[in-house]
């Protein structure tokens, strides 16, 4: 699992700019190729980033113990020559947000309704594993479209565990004075009181479901002054008026199953309920998405972003 810095420098062209896949608060991610031809993604911590050191250690401790086809796979770590590097499998089709919100042509080509449904179900399986099925109980805390990577077959893989928290047996929630997250995906109880739980991840999942169905970003400030209610509130208004199919992503050209879409929207709305108690757990979500025989509850009006009192530290 320990890897030489010389190997990773050679693999990435000494962290060449043209190999950079993306950048976040922790530093940058680079594409590389090992001597045996295996492609990798190398997360390189910015020098002098104390927050990043904590996040990297947290990510390493958790991801090394987690194995699931819908989680990105950790291959190794390097802590030499003042470098702090995590090495992951390379996931070739970029992150979900880059196709869903940016690349219109690729979206038409690769994100038909069947593929979107598979992505939704795959994210749900990965999240259920984190919450309920692994030996650990993990709350991700930063679930969003940019942290879902798509492999060569467009299967989703949840990534970026820097903010994740491990829960003790029997623990149902945690609390923090340092609210860190992404506008549009954070649950109201987390923003207002710093409370987080599996149900705050469920909220983030619900937002993503509605984004995948509509092709619209929930925190797109170019279209609304309200950072937190865009897609959720718009979908709710159309749900109550019976016109929700009008909000489908037009790149699908109406080639979708109405019953499947309506079911996904209903599940998404159930996941973004204001009260965490009213949201399903992920095993229930999996059953709802996996069978038409499972009855769904009627959603109430989803959580609103208006009036949230705390100012979180925003992650891009």
The structural domains of the chain, with segments of one domain joined by +, span: 5-89, 96-314
Q: 268, 261 in Cβ contact below 8 A?
A: no
The confidence score (pLDDT) of residue 10 equals 96
Q: 141, 196 in Cβ contact below 8 A?
A: yes
Summarised one tens digit per residue, pLDDT across range 123-176 is 999 999 999 999 889 999 999 999 999 999 999 999 988 888 999 888 899 999
Summarised one tens digit per residue, pLDDT across range 240-259 is 999 999 988 888 877 788 99
Residue 18 has pLDDT above 80, yes or no: yes
* 69 three-state secondary structure: coil
The confidence score (pLDDT) of residue 224 equals 45
**Rounded to whole angstroms, how far apart are CA atoms 281 and 178?**
25
Determine whether the annotation assigns residue 65 to a binding site: no
Q: Which CATH code for domain 5-89?
A: 3.30.200.20
Q: 179, 191 in Cβ contact below 8 A?
A: yes
* 153 three-state secondary structure: coil
The confidence score (pLDDT) of residue 106 equals 77
Annotated catalytic residues are 142
Q: What value does the mean pLDDT take over residues 269-293?
A: 95
Q: How many residues does the chain have?
A: 316
The structure's pTM equals 0.89
**Rounded to whole angstroms, how far apart are CA atoms 316 and 296?**
34
Domain 96-314 CATH (choose: 3.40.30.160, 1.10.510.10, 3.40.50.300, 1.10.1740.10): 1.10.510.10
**Rounded to whole angstroms, how far apart are CA atoms 248 and 235?**
10
The confidence score (pLDDT) of residue 105 equals 79
Per-residue pLDDT band for 312 (boundaries 50, 70, 90) equals: low
Q: 245, 265 in Cβ contact below 8 A?
A: no
Residue 308 has pLDDT above 60, yes or no: no
- Residue 227, judged by CB atoms within 10 A of its CB (0-12, 13-18, 19+), counts as middle
Per-residue pLDDT band for 239 (boundaries 50, 70, 90) equals: very high
Mean pLDDT of the chain: 87
The confidence score (pLDDT) of residue 35 equals 94
Per-residue pLDDT band for 294 (boundaries 50, 70, 90) equals: confident
**Rounded to whole angstroms, how far apart are CA atoms 44 and 27?**
6
**Rounded to whole angstroms, how far apart are CA atoms 184 and 293?**
31
Comparing 81-95, 127-141, 168-182, 221-235, the range with the smallest average pLDDT is 221-235
The confidence score (pLDDT) of residue 150 equals 95
**Rounded to whole angstroms, how far apart are CA atoms 302 and 24?**
30
Q: Phi then psi for 74, rounded to 5 degrees?
A: -80, 125
Q: What value does the mean pLDDT take over residues 26-41?
A: 92
**C-alpha pair distances (Å), 113 with each of 161, 200, 212, 251, 313:** 28, 27, 9, 10, 34
The confidence score (pLDDT) of residue 303 equals 77
Identify how many contiguous H helices and E strands the chain contains and give both numbers.
10, 13
Strands (E), the chain: 20-24, 27-33, 39-45, 74-78, 85-89, 137-139, 148-150, 156-158, 165-167, 174-175, 180-181, 195-196, 313-314
Residue 315 has pLDDT above 70, yes or no: no
Question: 96-314: same fold as 5-89?
Answer: no
């Amino acid at each position: 699992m320990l890897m030489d810095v010389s190997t990773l420098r050679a693999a990435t062209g000494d962290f060449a700019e043209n190999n950079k896949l993306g950048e976040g608060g922790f530093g940058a991610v680079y594409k590389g190729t090992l001597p045996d031809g295996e492609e990798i993604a190398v997360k390189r911590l910015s020098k002098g980033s104390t927050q990043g050191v904590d996040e990297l250690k947290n990510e390493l401790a958790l991801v090394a113990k987690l194995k699931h086809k819908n989680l990105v796979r950790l291959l190794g770590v390097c802590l030499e020559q003042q470098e702090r590097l995590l090495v992951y499998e390379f996931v070739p089709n970029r992150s979900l947000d880059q196709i869903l919100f940016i690349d219109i042509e690729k979206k038409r080509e690769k994100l038909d309704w069947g593929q979107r449904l598979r992505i939704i179900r795959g994210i749900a399986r990965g999240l259920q594993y984190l919450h309920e099925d692994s030996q650990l109980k993990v709350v991700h805390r930063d679930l969003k479209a940019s942290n879902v990577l798509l492999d060569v077959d467009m299967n989703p893989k949840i990534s970026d565990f820097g903010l994740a928290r491990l829960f003790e047996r029997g623990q149902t929630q945690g609390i923090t004075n340092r609210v860190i997250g992404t506008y549009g995906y954070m649950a109201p109880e987390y923003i207002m009181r710093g409370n987080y739980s599996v149900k705050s991840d469920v909220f983030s999942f619900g937002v993503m479901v509605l984004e995948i169905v509509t092709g619209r970003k929930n925190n797109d400030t170019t279209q609304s002054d309200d950072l937190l209610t865009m897609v959720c509130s718009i979908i709710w208004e159309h749900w109550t008026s019976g016109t929700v199919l009008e909000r489908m992503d037009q790149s699908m050209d109406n080639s979708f199953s109405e019953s499947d879409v309506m079911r996904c929207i209903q599940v998404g709305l159930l996941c973004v309920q204001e009260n965490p108690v009213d949201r399903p757990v992920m095993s229930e979500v999996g059953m709802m998405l996996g069978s038409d025989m499972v009855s769904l509850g009627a959603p109430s009006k989803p959580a609103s972003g208006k009036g949230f009192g705390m100012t979180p530290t925003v992650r891009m």
